[in-house]
Amino acid sequence: MSKLVIVGTVAFDAIETPFGKTDKILGGAGTYIGLAANNFDIDSSIVSVVGGDFPQEYINILKERNINLDGLEIIQEGKTFFWSGRYHNDMNSRDTLDTQLNVLADFQPKVPNAYKNAEVVMLGNLHPLVQQSVLEQMEKPKLVILDTMNFWMDNTLEELTKVISQIDVITINDEEARQLSGEYSLVKAARKINKMGPAYVVIKKGEHGALLFHNDQMFFAPALPLEDVFDPTGAGDTFAGGFAGYLAKTGDYSFENMKNAIIYGSNLASFCVEKFGTERMLNLDQKEVEKRLETFKALTQFNISLA
């Protein structure tokens, strides 16, 4: 079993969907990644920053799950990063209502000494210089996974390109893959992104599933069709956390094993959207997870034998 270092926001979210709205609740990419990875019972550490307003209750939630928080800086006089958004009726698009960077504006990530030798690093969606800094603090990671988004492509492309050149796996959505590569075809886009550095390109298509590209090999996992999607917040990070956690657990970074990691990530993401925020992920039983993996198998596996 490998150690996993996660850098990502630990934050407050306020969410509106057609099904209701929340006050400020626990959110952030680092939180979702950590909770998802935690399903694999690995030794993980979240590197992030919060303000003095961040409740002890939320810290306890993470600590009780044996997620190491030595790299979670608490700036007592500062305020925690806050995001607020409203989902449209189709649940596929959303408007950001408010973003308050607060303590994140000057975030200087510090990887705890005990985790500098971690084999797997998950660089959640943050300023590429923050991702770069974490990478430079690591001793000899075997697998570096990076998530990013169009905002950084628009505003910090040079820094982003530099960090992308040093990683193994990138996870981005389909529109971002097109923007980053200048190619409409996802096959061509992935090939171009391969050449920018990452040997593995994961393209997230939300309710339409996820694609993994590696040289001329491809793998696809659907999103599980659900009766109701209650709140999509965190689904992409849960996917990434499941992916990273499974790989850290198995220590096998081959393309074949990444297929399984994609399935585990998709499986966990299917739970995340069933309740507001982190609620479903905080109340997830391993029996449910295994049962739904069977549903994933039934959904995708077939028995055509070829000569």
Give me the residues that bind a copy of itself (CB under 8 A), please.
89-90, 184-188, 205, 208-209, 211, 217-220, 222, 225-229, 256, 259-260, 263-264, 290, 293-295, 297-304, 306-307
Q: Are 243 and 261 in contact (CB under 8 A)?
A: yes
**Shortest Cβ 272–a copy of itself spacing (Å):** 17
Which strand (E) or helix (H) includes residue 144?
strand 143-147
| CB nearer a copy of itself, residue 134 or residue 186 | 186
Q: How far is the CB of 47 from a copy of itself (least distance, A)?
A: 30
Q: Is 209 left (phi over 0), alpha (psi -120 to 50) or beta?
A: left
Question: Measured from the CB of residue 208, what is the shortest distance to a copy of itself in angstroms?
Answer: 4
CA atoms of 137 and 82, how far apart (whole Å):
27
Instruction: Provide, rounded to whole angstroms, the least separation between the CB of residue 213 and a copy of itself.
Output: 8
Cβ proximity to a copy of itself: between 225 and 251 the closer is 225
> Could you write out the three-class secondary structure of 36-102?
HHHHHCCEEEEEEEEECCCCHHHHHHHHHCCCECCCEEEECCCCCCEEEEEECCCCCCEEEEEEECH
Residue for token digits 């975030």?
107
| Minimum CB distance to a copy of itself, residue 292 (Å) | 10
32 or 213: whose CB is closer to a copy of itself?
A: 213
Q: Which is nearer to a copy of itself, 26 or 258 (CB)?
A: 258
| Shorter beta-carbon distance to a copy of itself: residue 146 or 211 | 211
CB neighbour burial string for 167-181, b if at least 16 within 10 angstroms, e if fewer: bbbbbbbbebbbbbb
Quick check: helix, strand or coil at residue 129? helix
